[in-house]
Structure 1
Amino acid sequence: MGRLNINWERDGRQAAYLELPSSTNTSAWQNLRIPVFYFRRGDGPRTLLIGGSHGDEYESQVALSKLAHTLDPHTLIGSILVIPSLNLPAALAGARLSPIDGGNLNREFPGDARGSVTQRMAHFVSHELVPRVDSVVDLHSGGRTLRFHPCTFVHGQADPARTAAFLAAARSFRAPLTVILREDHADVMLDDVVERAGKLMLASELGGSALVTRDTVHLTSEGLRQLLQHLGHMSGAQSSPTTVAPSRVVCVPGPEYYLHADDTALFEPVLELGEAVREGAVVGFYHYIDRVDRAPVPLYAPRSGLLLCVNGQALVHRDDAVAVIAVDYEG
């Protein structure tokens, strides 16, 4: 299945590899090694930080790499487990999905101990790591095909008190937006495993277009610091004031707030992410670069709200997400 040589009771910093045996056309007895970092200082809150579940989402991988190599365990309360690039084969291939088995890691949970590499990776996280922590933070961005106004993501919970706790943690990250959204495929995502275990779950969408920018990495690094403080990992004496505006809480009420492509073309956005938009307003244009007889065609906002997400690269194909509209959350 997998193995990770960490002493969970030892204080200090440990660096190890999550090892997953594999077999491919080019490497019959491959042993996949994924870097993992563990920090502990006594009993206290326990948090798992994950980046790179999708390989082409780089902001989290850079921010968590920086954290893994700078965090001082002597300043902590409790324990923090950091995996900067969980889907390492995909990250090294610059791809969303694993090049080994084509698996989409965050659509394989709770995994399969006897399945493919991606399924065994999901199983290890579900059964070996999630039970060891109180909170899980799975950092995402838009990857190559989407671009988000930076935000944290939470699922609404049946218990209002749990929803409030999730929102408080998400807002402590101080991204411009905190989004309440339950995806159609949530039952095969890590979120579902964590929530069914009664743990706190937080995700994000921190940029996209397969880019790393100074602003998104700074936002992610500062957000992690503020979140870890909120979760109780930092003493009050170590806290530092912030002048960042509170995160605005929004939601995506349903599929009618998504705009999907009906054709293959180049998409030209005309609005900035986070900008207010009215239903029926032009959000961009299709450009048919292969036709002399087709002028640019406008695309219209399906609902009023703010622009949460747009296509991350100019080329769109039929059924691709082109834009997503969010509205203020009324609670």
Structure 2
Amino acid sequence: MARMSTARTTIDFDRSGKQIGFVDIPHSPHDDAWGATRIPLAVIRNGNGPTVILQAGNHGDEYEGPITLGELIRDLDPGMVSGRIIFLPAINLPAVLAGRRTSPVDGLNLNRTFPGDPTGTITQQISAYVSDVVMPLGHAYVDLHSGGSSLNILPSAIIEPAPDAAHRKRNMEAVLAFDAPLTVVIDNLGEPRTSTATSVRAGLTTVGTEMAGAGTVSLDALGICRKGVRNVLSHLGVLPPTGGPPAARPENILRIPGHDGYVLATTNGVFEPFHALGAEVHAGEDAGRIHNLADPGRAPETVRYLSDGIVYGRRQPGRVVVGNCCVTVATRYEGELA
């Protein structure tokens, strides 16, 4: 039985042309008895073709994706489209407005709430709307991320694993079409509550990204994102071809090797990294040390890599507490490419 939702939109998903509007989710905080949280939504439809869902702002401190989708909404001529594009450029709007990873309304991380709850908190209702209303309309789903304010990541396109071989092949081909400098297989340690894991369960061709981060807008990553989204839309047949196929770069397909890919803080303090992004590192090698600035007589505590690979992501703020991710390592992907 379909889950009932109070979310509403004036957008007609089946109408041709360009529409820009909102999804209204009723919200009754202390200072607004009968208000709504308004999530930006746009649809461009023309002719026959697949439906591609483009989402950004899943985390509110990741900026390249929302900028890219806003530009596409404004600039894309519907006559260039064959099919339908559904844009969710600031899906976690409360977090986007606050510049936070998590929502200031309910404290939740949207990307750990899927498939959501249509009668839950605002964040749970947002993920339920995407899962119940938007994803069933789609053939493909693109979720644009970066490292946010707590992490800086090498710009990359992300493969969400799929258990079915044919589905896995579709995902890989679409991600490779994005043509990022790196392609990384990330399963979030099997976490089922992410948007891309939910998209895979729904049978959609699924593409993710990690576009730098550090709480800023990277010009290089923004350029990669702008080009990559159009590349994927072209690959899926929604936009005209952009040129030749992407260069084959099998040496640049990586994966995060499970728990061993994460160097976690073992104490509170300030993390001093020993390696730059992209540096080759080895299991057992010192990754950095954590300084206790309040106790200068106490020696810093060293943390070490648990896997060979390259430094793929690195914590941006110096201050850490126990359990914070200090460094992420990616290693060569050894699985099948199709």
Q: Compute the displacement of 1:139 (Å).
A: 0.9
| Separation of aligned partners in 2, 1:112 and 1:278 | 43
Q: Compute the displacement of 1:98 (Å).
A: 1.2
Query: Pick from 295, 320, 324: which aligns with 1:320?
Result: 324
* Secondary structure at the counterpart of residue 18 of structure 1: strand
Q: Compute the displacement of 1:25 (Å).
A: 2.0
Q: How does 1:5-84 map to 2 (within 5 A)?
A: 5-84=10-89
| Separation of aligned partners in 2, 1:86 and 1:258 | 28
**Structure 2 letter corresponding to 1:203:** G
Q: How does 1:118-157 map to 2 (within 5 A)?
A: 118-157=123-162
Q: Is the 8 A contact 1:24 1:100 kept in 2?
A: no
| Separation of aligned partners in 2, 1:253 and 1:279 | 12
Q: Compute the displacement of 1:244 (Å).
A: 6.9
| Separation of aligned partners in 2, 1:243 and 1:117 | 40
| Correspondence 1:282 to 2:286 | yes
Gaps of 5+ in 1: none
* Secondary structure at the counterpart of residue 132 of structure 2: helix
| Residue of structure 1 in register with 2:256 after alignment | 252
**Structure 2 letter corresponding to 1:15:** I
Query: Pick from 197, 201, 221: which aligns with 1:196?
Result: 201
> Any idea what the Cα deviations from partners look like across 1:206-232, whole Å, max 9, x if unmatched?
111211121111111111111111111
Cα 1:185/1:279, change in 2 over 3 Å: closer
Q: Is the 8 A contact 2:265 2:303 kept in 1?
A: no
* Secondary structure at the counterpart of residue 56 of structure 1: coil
| Residue of structure 1 in register with 2:308 after alignment | 304
| Separation of aligned partners in 2, 1:211 and 1:205 | 13
Q: Compute the displacement of 1:46 (Å).
A: 0.7
User: Is the deviation greater in 278-287 or in 145-154?
Assistant: 278-287
Normalised TM-score (structure 1): 0.94
Q: Is the 8 A contact 2:65 2:225 kept in 1?
A: yes
Normalised TM-score (structure 2): 0.92
| Residue of structure 2 in register with 1:166 after alignment | 171
Q: Is the 8 A contact 2:266 2:303 kept in 1?
A: no
| Separation of aligned partners in 1, 2:112 and 2:11 | 27
Query: Pick from 169, 173, 178: which aligns with 2:183?
Result: 178
Q: Compute the displacement of 1:50 (Å).
A: 0.5
* Secondary structure at the counterpart of residue 71 of structure 2: helix
| Residue of structure 1 in register with 2:3 after alignment | none
* Secondary structure at the counterpart of residue 277 of structure 2: coil
* Secondary structure at the counterpart of residue 188 of structure 1: coil
Q: Is the 8 A contact 1:274 1:307 kept in 2?
A: yes
Root mean square deviation of aligned Cα:
1.8
| Separation of aligned partners in 2, 1:306 and 1:58 | 25
Gaps of 5+ in 2: 1-5
Q: Compute the displacement of 1:85 (Å).
A: 0.6
Q: Compute the displacement of 1:161 (Å).
A: 2.4
| Correspondence 1:3 to 2:8 | yes
Cα 1:77/1:284, change in 2 over 3 Å: same
| Separation of aligned partners in 1, 2:285 and 2:46 | 54
Query: Pick from 304, 313, 333: which aligns with 1:329?
Result: 333
Q: Compute the displacement of 1:123 (Å).
A: 0.9
Q: Is the 8 A contact 1:174 1:245 kept in 2?
A: no
> Any idea what the Cα deviations from partners look like across 1:260-302, whole Å, max 9, x if unmatched?
0011122222322222112233333323222221344443222
Q: Compute the displacement of 1:75 (Å).
A: 0.9
| Correspondence 1:226 to 2:209 | no
Q: Is the 8 A contact 1:11 1:39 kept in 2?
A: yes
**Structure 2 letter corresponding to 1:145:** S
* Secondary structure at the counterpart of residue 21 of structure 1: strand
Q: Compute the displacement of 1:27 (Å).
A: 2.1
Q: Is the 8 A contact 1:106 1:190 kept in 2?
A: yes
* Secondary structure at the counterpart of residue 157 of structure 2: strand
> Any idea what the Cα deviations from partners look like across 1:215-252, whole Å, max 9, x if unmatched?
1111111111111111111223xx23588774721112
Q: Compute the displacement of 1:7 (Å).
A: 2.0
| Separation of aligned partners in 1, 2:246 and 2:170 | 22
| Separation of aligned partners in 2, 1:198 and 1:56 | 29
| Correspondence 1:240 to 2:243 | yes
**Structure 2 letter corresponding to 1:316:** V
Cα 1:173/1:22, change in 2 over 3 Å: same
